[in-house]
């Protein structure tokens, strides 16, 4: 058990130790200051990037972490491209990038200097719809419409991939051009989710544009 004397000694030692360590901060502050790294606006690294979106050149200065989807929606105010999951799982953000469809939520805008981007706003106009847009209207290829811009961009890109002879997981003959069949369409469009379940009408619209009896 600690006696009152022992307690007094211990307390005295403790005060001495405290006095000794009290001089440390003075030594630290005497050391030369290390310069802080340079900061940019908003403490983010901004980078210039030029994108050709729907035929119009845009010079942007973006946080390097900005996705292509956010660059389109938040910086260029092209809100036709939708953000569904933001994780590459729904296809709502599909756009055409240099002629290929891509999930714009999964790629950074600064990775695509000089690229040509086509969004749903660039495919057609209300007075002159793209054939795929017109076919979606004709065949009721949507209900709420949230997935529709991504579905249409994806369908356009998908037909382009078949035309180039790019096979899918259901293509049986890898030595021949893939067939324009509903099996191919459904497989190749499987990355575009429609929560309203308009799938059969979407396939009908694509089939009409492809010009086949799928």
Provide the binding-site residues for ligand FES, judged by CB under 6 A. 83-86, 88-93, 103, 105, 142-148, 194-196, 198
Question: Which residue, 122 or 141, has its beta carbon nearer to ligand FES?
Answer: 141
> How far is 110 from 24, CA to CA, in rounded Å?
47
> How far is 44 from 41, CA to CA, in rounded Å?
6
Question: Which residue, 78 or 147, has its beta carbon nearer to ligand FES?
Answer: 147
Q: How far is the CB of 81 from ligand FES (least distance, A)?
A: 9
Question: Which residue, 73 or 178, has its beta carbon nearer to ligand FES?
Answer: 73
Q: How far is the CB of 138 from ligand FES (least distance, A)?
A: 15
Q: How far is the CB of 25 from ligand FES (least distance, A)?
A: 51
What is the bridge-based pairing of β-strands 100-103 and 94-97? antiparallel
Question: Which residue, 171 or 206, has its beta carbon nearer to ligand FES?
Answer: 206
119's CB contacts (< 8 A; 6+ apart) are 53, 54, 72, 78, 80, 81, 95, 96, 149, 153
Q: How far is the CB of 84 from ligand FES (least distance, A)?
A: 4
Q: Phi, psi at residue 62, to the nearest 5°?
A: -120, 145
Question: Which residue, 103 or 171, has its beta carbon nearer to ligand FES?
Answer: 103
Q: How far is the CB of 165 from ligand FES (least distance, A)?
A: 26
Cα angle 159, 149, 58; round to 5 = 95
C-alpha closest to that of 64 among 8, 1, 109, 11: 109
Q: Phi, psi at residue 63, to the nearest 5°?
A: -55, 130
Yes or no: say if 51 and 75 are a contact pair by the CB < 8 Å rule: no
DSSP letter for 83, please.
Answer: -
């Amino acid at each position: 058990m600690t006696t009152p004397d022992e307690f007094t000694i211990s307390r005295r030692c403790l005060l001495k130790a405290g006095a000794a360590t009290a001089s440390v901060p003075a030594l630290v502050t005497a050391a030369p200051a290390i310069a802080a790294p340079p900061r940019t606006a908003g403490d983010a690294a901004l980078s210039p990037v030029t994108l050709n979106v729907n035929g119009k050149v845009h010079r942007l200065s973006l946080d390097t972490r900005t996705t292509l989807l956010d660059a389109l929606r938040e910086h260029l105010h092209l809100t036709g491209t939708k953000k569904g999951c933001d994780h590459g799982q729904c296809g709502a953000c599909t756009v055409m990038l240099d002629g290929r469809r891509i999930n714009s939520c999964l790629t950074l805008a600064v990775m695509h200097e000089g690229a040509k981007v086509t969004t749903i706003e660039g495919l057609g106009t209300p007075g002159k719809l793209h054939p795929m847009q017109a076919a979606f209207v004709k065949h009721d290829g949507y209900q709420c419409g949230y997935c529709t811009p991504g579905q249409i961009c994806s369908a356009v890109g998908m037909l382009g991939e078949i035309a180039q002879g790019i096979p899918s997981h259901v293509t049986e003959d890898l030595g021949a051009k893939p067939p324009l069949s509903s099996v191919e369409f459904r497989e190749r469009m499987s990355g575009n989710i429609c929560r309203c379940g308009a799938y059969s009408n979407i396939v009908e619209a694509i089939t009409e544009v492809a010009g086949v009896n799928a």
